[in-house]
């Protein structure tokens, strides 16, 4: 592994080191996720052995993170997967793969935001336990509309919001864990059902791995800011590895503390598990404060997520690799309003589904066009661009790639039938839209491929 990489341009100052890079990853990894998924994980695994789901998720995140590390260090800057697929697959299929990736993000990013809105609505149930189906979904739609409206203007910086989100998240995690351990019953946390590791274990593990990897999403954040990393060959893999290991311990401690407060069957049925834990340990008033903090965390994470997500199709359209309508800016405020409105609408629709189903749909949407495609991109680029500067080369290659492939395939086929159908239909629809777009723009397959090895040219 090399220790340095030449600066490709003067647009960015390399100021982010290993510590700050790790903090950035961890902030993105732990939002409202564990507060809404612990009950789902416990129910899927069928008992306190749910902790294995977090470990399995960490293994998959680690293997996949090393794919991101090599690609991100070699091709730093904004774009992430979009750039990697563009560079790797341009030789045979032109702009197809980056187009499909952006198309998939139109579904995946809003679905991720939907989980935050759903979680927020579930925690509102602590204050309004008798809300019916329609009131809950009207609140979800109103929250989505409010976020979209707040973003319907030029937002110069979200640094203060991100810092506040990080602080609130830390207080929520530490507070919930402390409450759990202050009223801890080891019999609840470590008494396993008779069939805990029986024939149904691997079925439950598949469902648990889906939840686990969802909670680790964000370990790749530094790959999107590679041009700002100091010593990327060290910072990129280091920040990913440390953040995954650190969050694994955070999730394990949080999970064990929660399981020690009540029987696992009760935990599995809870819609606001952090509120339950704090109330049992410290009383209703403390639980109310914790619930407010988690609701604020959920809302803020959706705000920042939609802000960044709406820029993804805009950048691709500006590069003439996606539908031109998404490249339009608001005439007065200069932000990508078409992408924002589109993602806001999809987010609202997503809130009408069950949380588990949304997580299933989210992961199946990205596994083929992002996760597996990136692994293929790493292999292709090693063959097609052997001279590309790689500040970090994947340790034990190709073992992490193989582990990631097995893990992602396992997750994909463990998902619900509905999510598999939806992901398949979405990809097919993307192929049809691409064919029309390529015809109009005289791109492959209606014209020869245009090869531009961007990062080789910059060396």
- Please report, for the domain that includes residue 198, its CATH number: 1.20.1740.10
- 5 in any annotated domain: no
Say whether pLDDT at 4 is over 50.
Answer: no
pTM of the model: 0.90
pLDDT surpasses 90 at 25: no
**pLDDT of 393 over the 50 cut:** yes
- The model's confidence at residue 166, banded by pLDDT at 50, 70 and 90, is confident
- Is residue 361 within 8 A of residue 425, CB to CB? The reply is no
Report how far apart, in Å, the C-alpha atoms of 362 and of each of 14, 266, 411, 450 are: 33, 27, 12, 32
Q: Name which of 411, 402, 406, 405 is nearest 363 in CA terms.
A: 411
Q: Does residue 159 have a pLDDT over 90?
A: no
Q: Which of 22-26, 68-72, 376-380 has the highest mean pLDDT?
A: 376-380
13 inside domain: no
The residue segments making up the domain with residue 237 are: 18-458
The domain tally of the chain equals 1
In a domain, 3, yes or no: no
Q: How confident is the model at residue 114 (pLDDT cuts 50, 70, 90)?
A: very high
- For residues 84-123, one letter each, b for 16 or more C-beta atoms within 10 angstroms of the residue's C-beta and e for the rest, the string is bbbbbbbeebbbbbbbbbbbbbbbbbbbbbbbbbbbbbbb
pLDDT at 185: 95
Q: CA nearest 354: which of 51, 39, 127?
A: 39
Q: Is the pLDDT of residue 10 over 80?
A: no
Name the region of 347 (left: φ>0; alpha: ψ -120 to 50; beta: rest).
alpha
- Mean pLDDT, to the nearest integer, of 280-296? 95
The confidence score (pLDDT) of residue 8 equals: 44
> What's the rounded Cα separation, in Å, for the pair 218 and 106?
18
CA 53 to CA 36: how far, in whole Å? 15
Which pLDDT value is given to residue 163? 72
Lowest mean pLDDT among 43-47, 304-308, 445-449: 304-308
Least confident of 124-133, 173-182, 307-316: 307-316
Decide if pLDDT at 410 tops 80. Answer: yes
Return d(Cα 152, Cα 149) in angstroms, integer: 5
Q: How confident is the model at residue 158 (pLDDT cuts 50, 70, 90)?
A: low
In contact, 301 and 172? CB cutoff 8 Å: no
The pLDDT, as a whole number, for residue 335 is 82
Domain assignment present for residue 2? The answer is: no
Residue 120: pLDDT band with limits 50, 70, 90: very high
The answer to whether position 136 is within a domain reads yes
Mean pLDDT of 144-157: 81
If one compares 200 and 126, the residue with the highest pLDDT of the two is 126
Distance, CA of 176 to chain centre: 23
Residue 9 has what pLDDT? 43
Residue 425 lies in a domain: yes
Which pLDDT does position 5 carry in this prediction? 44
Domain assignment present for residue 417? The answer is yes
């Amino acid at each position: 592994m090399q220790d340095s990489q030449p600066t490709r341009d003067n647009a960015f100052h390399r100021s982010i080191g290993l510590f700050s890079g790790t903090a950035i990853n961890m902030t993105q990894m732990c939002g409202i996720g564990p507060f809404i998924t612990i009950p789902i994980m416990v129910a899927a695994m069928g008992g306190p052995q749910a902790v294995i789901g977090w470990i399995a998720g960490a293994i998959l995140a680690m293997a996949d993170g090393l794919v991101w590390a090599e690609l991100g260090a070699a091709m730093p800057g904004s774009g992430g997967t979009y750039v990697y697929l563009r560079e790797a697959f341009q030789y045979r299929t032109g702009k197809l793969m980056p187009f499909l990736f952006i198309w998939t993000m139109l579904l995946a990013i809003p679905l991720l935001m939907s989980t935050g809105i759903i979680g927020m609505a579930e925690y509102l149930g602590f204050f309004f336990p008798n809300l019916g189906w329609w009131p809950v979904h009207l609140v979800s739609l109103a929250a989505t509309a409010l976020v979209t409206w707040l973003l319907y203007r030029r937002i110069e910086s979200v640094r203060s919001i991100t810092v506040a989100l990080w602080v609130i998240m830390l207080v929520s995690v530490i507070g919930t864990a402390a409450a759990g351990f202050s009223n801890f019953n080891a019999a609840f946390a470590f008494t396993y059902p008779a069939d805990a590791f029986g024939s149904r274990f691997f079925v439950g593990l598949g469902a648990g791995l889906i939840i686990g990897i969802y909670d680790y999403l964000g370990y790749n954040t530094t790959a999107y800011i590679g041009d700002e990393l100091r010593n990327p060959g060290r910072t990129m893999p280091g920040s990913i590895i440390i953040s995954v290991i650190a969050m694994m311990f955070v999730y394990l401690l949080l999970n064990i503390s929660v399981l020690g407060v009540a029987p696992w069957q009760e935990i599995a049925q809870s819609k606001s598990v952090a509120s339950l834990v704090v109330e049992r340990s410290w009383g209703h008033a403390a639980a109310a404060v914790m619930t407010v903090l988690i609701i604020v965390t959920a809302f803020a994470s959706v705000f920042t997520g939609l802000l960044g997500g709406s820029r993804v199709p805009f950048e691709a359209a500006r590069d003439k690799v996606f539908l031109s309508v998404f490249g339009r800016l608001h005439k007065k405020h200069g932000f990508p309003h078409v992408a924002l409105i589109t993602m806001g609408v999809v987010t609202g629709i997503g809130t009408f589904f069950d949380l588990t189903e949304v997580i299933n749909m989210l992961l199946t949407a990205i596994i083929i066009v992002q996760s597996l495609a990136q692994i293929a991109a790493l292999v292709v680029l090693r063959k097609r661009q052997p001279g590309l500067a790689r500040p970090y080369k994947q340790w034990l290659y190709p073992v992490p790639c193989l582990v990631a492939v097995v893990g992602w395939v396992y997750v994909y086929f463990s998902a619900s039938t509905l999510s598999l159908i939806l992901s398949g239909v979405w990809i097919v629809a993307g192929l049809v839209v691409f064919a029309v777009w390529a015809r109009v723009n005289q791109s492959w397959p209606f014209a020869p491929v245009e090869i531009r090895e961007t990062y080789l040219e910059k060396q």
